[in-house]
Amino acid sequence: MPTFRLACLSVLLMFYLPAQASAQCVRLQAAGLQTLPGLCAEVIAHGLKMPRGLTILPNGNLLVTEMVRWDAAQGRLLQLASSANGWQQSVVAKGFDRPHGVVQGPDGKIYVGEVGRIVRFTPERPDERETVATLPLRQRHPLTTFALTGNGDLYVNIGSSSDNCENASPAEQAAQRCPESEQDKAGVVWRYHLDKDGKVSDLGVFARGLRNSMALGVHPASGIVLQAENSRDAIQLKMKLPNDNELPHDELNLLQAGQHYGWPFCYDKQLAAPEFPSHDCRNTQPPYLLLPAHAAPLGLTWWLSPQAPPRFAGWLIVGFHGYRQHGHRLMAYPVDKQGLPKGKPLELISNWKDSKGPGGPVEIRVGNDGALYLTDDRHGQVIRLYAVQ
């Protein structure tokens, strides 16, 4: 009889604990979010205008870039500070041109990625900005994001100016040429180095053949550089398919110095693009992992913190920003010792929709409290995702 009762209790707990966890989230849960049982999603800031980049300061406060508009330099940098009365919001600086990436450098200064440049300033004097890097101007993918390593290397996205080099002339395509990719001014990841004394060194192109590297991350222990590729659109037009719902896949790439990852000549696992049918894709690096088509990954990080939920400790977290069927969700991938994904992923936030439309996760960071913090530019909010104890 005791064995029978214990078995019954175990079965009841399997159903009761997730329900109890969900019940504890009711008053905090963000509208339209379906979280994995045991996780809560709390809105800590709302009413923002296209929040994009995010970084965590040593004191636990958050810095958030607010793009505001696509057509004017009206971006802002906000600070969110936790208090007994909730999260308090303040404006740090204004007048940025479509800001995205934000980090605090080894010199203590704040670095912000704008269209065409990276600026920095001291926290005490945010209006006294210094341009530390001038970047090529691009038409289709102008936003600047980056990933900073512990040793001061800064990996910077320089996205493509086109979808898939459709502006190339027929003669250039016949010659297997894409002029915009030939001068390293588009479709690359660039590398800089930041010293503690404030010196910025230009180390040149790190990797090529990358259409739009909005999701970049460097594992703090192994040093691997991961990039989540936003792949091309409209491939069905040349391939005479009904639609492009499942092609091409977005990608997760393990970046290595000097390598080419295929854009615009190749897609998926070294397949020649229909515009460049005779291109030899064997000379390009294949994706480490194929992601769902048009998932539009814009942010990634590893859930590394002593306070992280044990189940997901160290896992790779990727946000799918896309508005199509595979987007608007937050994914978690189990990883090996280097931080590379292995095994089947889980959806931490699934099918994220409400009356205003699909959610739009952008940047993801791990807070000092072990929670995940993410920006949602479509709903103008910042979300804190944490485990129920």
Assign 16 to helix, strand or coil.
Answer: helix
Strand pairing category for 346-350 and 297-302: unpaired
Residue-level pLDDT, tens digit, the chain, 389 residues: 444 343 433 333 333 333 444 446 654 567 788 999 999 999 999 999 999 999 999 999 999 999 999 998 999 999 999 999 899 999 999 999 999 999 999 999 999 999 999 999 999 999 999 999 999 988 899 999 999 999 999 999 999 999 999 989 989 988 989 999 998 999 999 999 999 999 999 999 999 999 999 999 999 999 999 999 999 999 999 999 999 999 999 999 999 999 999 999 999 999 999 999 999 999 999 999 999 999 999 999 999 999 999 999 999 999 999 999 999 999 999 999 999 999 999 999 998 998 889 999 999 999 999 999 999 999 999 999 999 86
Assign 17 to helix, strand or coil.
Answer: helix
| Domain carrying residue 296 | 2-387
The Cα–Cα gap between 331 and 300 comes to: 9
| Amino acid, single-letter form, for residue 262 | G
Q: What is the maximum span of the chain, computed from C-alpha positions, in angstroms?
A: 82
The residues, any chain, with a CB within 8 Å of residue 349's CB and separated by 6 or more, are 33, 34, 35, 36, 41, 329, 330, 359, 361, 385
The Cα–Cα gap between 363 and 350 comes to: 17
Pair 57, 376: CB distance under 8 Å: no
The Cα–Cα gap between 49 and 389 comes to: 33
178's tokens: 């894409």
The Cα–Cα gap between 318 and 297 comes to: 7
Assign 135 to helix, strand or coil.
Answer: coil
Q: How many distinct structural domains can be found in the chain?
A: 1
List Cα–Cα distances, 283 to 174, 225, 260, 266, in angstroms.
Answer: 19, 20, 8, 10
Of 349, 331, 245, 253, give the one whose Cα is nearest residue 293. Answer: 245
CATH of the domain at 329: 2.120.10.30
